[in-house]
Chains A and B, each alone.
Chain A
Amino acid sequence: MTALRLAGATRLFDGGAGVRDVDLEVSAGEVVALVGLNGAGKTTLLRLVLGMLRPQAGSVEIGGVPLDRLPPHAWAEVGAQIEYPLAYPELDGATNLALAARLHGVPAVQVRAVVAAVVDELDLGRYVTVRARRMSLGNRQRLGLAAALQHHPRLVVLDEPTNALDPRGIVLVREAVRRRADAGAAVLVSSHHLDEVARVADRILVIGDGRMIGTLDPHGAELERAFFALVHDDALSRAS
């Protein structure tokens, strides 16, 4: 079942940056990774998925419903982190998670259990009473990911989730993401760490200059070489 579909989605900024004519589908139970160089359009594409930007052309659908007609309660099935974690500096880890859970539609009586479970899953026990402003960048990132994943969304959208994480954090997040997908969630994750996406993704899509330029086999050898070949060929075709 298709959980997320972009059809001809275009959003361009002054100067020509952005994404153009992007088609993309993510089905329930699969992890799709979006890789590309810096400025390729990964974050813009994810922003379109979350409604942070509206497409100038084409459409974005969640569960078969265009975003502009998606009822508010349907967003309870979505968990996302784009760029900055939802972590308020003046609040401690547990309070940040509790507020995020409430905002994602978790009933008040279940919040404590939901927070306890994700604290355990992402090993955040040491940080429940620590204010976010006192956390390291990596721990704040992990807190934000916990906020995005704790309500077990059916669609997960993560932008560079392993940025700033230490090796143990990377493993914890990878396992948490894989667990959600194995339970039936559709996951779209952007990254520029090819080794990392190869470990977690079922499909790898390559974006360059705002367009989908190809796919990579997550189990293929020489992933890096294949990636640069795609980027190089795309640059040549645009130049000619």
Chain B
Amino acid sequence: MTAPAAAGQRALTGLRTALVVESVKARASLVLRSTSVLLVVGVCVLSAAMVAAVRAGRTDVTRKLGPTVATGDWDAFLSVATQVTGAAAVLATGVALAWLVGREFSDGTVGGLFGLPVTRGVIASAKVLVYLGWAAGLGVVLPCALLAAGLACGLGAPDAPVLAGLARIGLLVLLSACVAVPAALAATLGRGLLPGVATTVGVVAVAQVGATLGAGTWFPLTAPALWAIAPGTVPAAALATAPLLALAVAALTVLAWRRLQLDR
């Protein structure tokens, strides 16, 4: 084997090792488990409660939520679920990522990640990949839970457009996770959990303000939610700004881990 080929093989082995290590840590994490439960249960309960209130004739709720939920059917249910997921998923995934990265500094374990054949850049890459894998899992579980909640509310068998709406919510979770990737960079530069959490809250706030001011479909923080609510209004290229943002920030995070010094 040539030297570059051997180096490539070793890098691949390093990434595989880091993925195993980060997966074991993520599976044992109470933070990831509780965040998953809170997001799934929270979105389902809120969506079901709103639709149940509309179906019970609560005109005050209908007035506040707008005409799209007045029907009290699957469309209303999905409308509430999509809007809640748009904000909650960014918050939940951002907090989870802030923990995945920031805990190494808060727990003091970051020192043990120096002087290893598995480089810190590879470890940071594995953290982001495990995070995206977890978010993709949530993107499957949440639509399934919403389907069960809708059936339990007596909304009847879903038709194809409803199933498409549920699938969009699943993809919205993954795209929201992309939007929350700056939490990893903040947790690294800020050497802890809280800068990551604060950045996540900032991302949610900027997205809300951006949406209110009509920032447009090309703004990566709002494009996923706008697409999930009104798919026809957001072109695929605009939607791609969210994963591109994630890729760029993840690359900066890996670079920050590679150049990391414990100097403060």
Contact = CB atoms under 8 A, between A and B. Distances in A.
Interface string B110-138: 01111111110000000000000000000
Contacts of A76: 117
B212 interface: no
B117 A105 contact: yes
Nearest to B10: A73
B259 to A, nearest CB: 9
Interface string A175-203: 00000000000000000000000000000
Interface string A141-170: 000100100000000010000000000000
A88 B115 contact: no
Interface in A87-139: 87-91, 95, 99-100, 102-105
Contacts of B2: none
A103 B29 contact: no
Contact of B262 (A52, A73, A81, A144): A52
Contacts of A13: 263
A91 B117 CA distance: 22
B115 A78 contact: yes
B116 A75 contact: yes
B13 to A, nearest CB: 9
A63 interface: no
Contact of A144 (B17, B112, B263): B112
Nearest to B261: A53
A85 B112 contact: yes
Given A52-B261, A84-B112, A102 B117 contact: no
Contacts of A85: 112
B119 A72 contact: yes
Interface string B1-43: 0000001001100100110110011001110000000000000
A104 B116 contact: yes
A76 to B, nearest CB: 4
A51 B263 contact: no
B116 A103 contact: yes
B127 to A, nearest CB: 13
Nearest to B259: A54
A88 B107 contact: yes
A212 interface: no
A187 B5 CA distance: 33
Nearest to B30: A90
Contacts of B113: 86, 103
A47 interface: yes
B108 interface: yes
A86 B109 contact: yes
B108 to A, nearest CB: 3
A233 interface: no
B118 to A, nearest CB: 5
Contact of B118 (A54, A91, A95, A103): A103
A83 interface: yes
A75 B122 CA distance: 14
A74 B116 CA distance: 8
Q: Which of B14, B28, B117 has the most CB of A within 10 A?
A: B117
Contacts of B17: 102-103
Given A86-B112, A99-B24, A104 B117 contact: yes
10 contacts: A50-B115, A53-B262, A73-B10, A82-B114, A85-B112, A86-B111, A89-B107, A100-B112, A103-B18, A104-B116
Interface of A: 13, 47, 50-54, 71-76, 78, 80-91, 95, 99-100, 102-105, 144, 147, 157
